[in-house]
Amino acid sequence: MASPGALLLCTLVLTVSEGGGREADVPGCHLHPFNVTVRSDRQGTCQGSHVAQACVGHCESSAFPSRYSVLVASGYRHNITSISQCCTIQGLKKVKVQLQCAGNQSRELELFTARACQCDMCRLSRF
């Protein structure tokens, strides 16, 4: 039989709301705070909130004519070469969220949040 903590983890409902900062207007790739509300179920039997960090912003990308060797190797179909970078999480850290439950009980839950951001190769799925 699963422990109450495992059951709690399986039934979490997250609510995310945007932070009030203007960090998204700053050039580059950087941390951006947002509020996370964690609920054990739709009724909110146990719930808590925490400010987590996301990576937002932009990174440099470029496109240029392909070299002759690339043109030949691609049968002259790859005439533009592009290099793009995306703002991604460089590192994660665990944060503890206190959940207040019915009957004056409390539980602690660990979540991951971004520790640092970087411009890196764009990938379909990073984290």
Q: What is the pLDDT of residues 73-108, one digit of tens each?
A: 999 999 999 888 999 999 999 999 999 998 888 888
Taken in order 102, 108, 110, 115, is the CA torsion positive or negative?
A: positive
Residues 33, 52 contacting (CB under 8 angstroms): yes
Q: Tell me, what's the pLDDT at 105? A: 87
**DSSP of 62-124:** EEEEPPHHHHHHTTT---EEEEEEEEEEEEEEEEEEEEEETTTEEEEEEEEEEEEEEEEE--S
Q: What is the pLDDT of residue 9?
A: 37
**The pLDDT of residue 10:** 33
Instruction: Please tell me the predicted confidence (pLDDT) of residue 24.
Output: 46
pTM of the predicted model as reported, rounded to 2 decimal places: 0.62
Looking at residue 125, what is its pLDDT? 55
Could you state, in order of their start, the residue ranges of all structural domains in the chain? 4-58+85-120
pLDDT value of position 55? 95
Q: Which CATH class is domain 4-58+85-120?
A: mainly beta
Could you tell me which residues are beta bridge partners of residue 26?
none
Contact between 26 and 87 under an 8 Å Cβ cutoff? The reply is: no
Mark the ranges of the chain whose per-residue pLDDT is less than 50: 1-24, 127
Q: What is the pLDDT, as a whole number, of residue 94?
A: 95
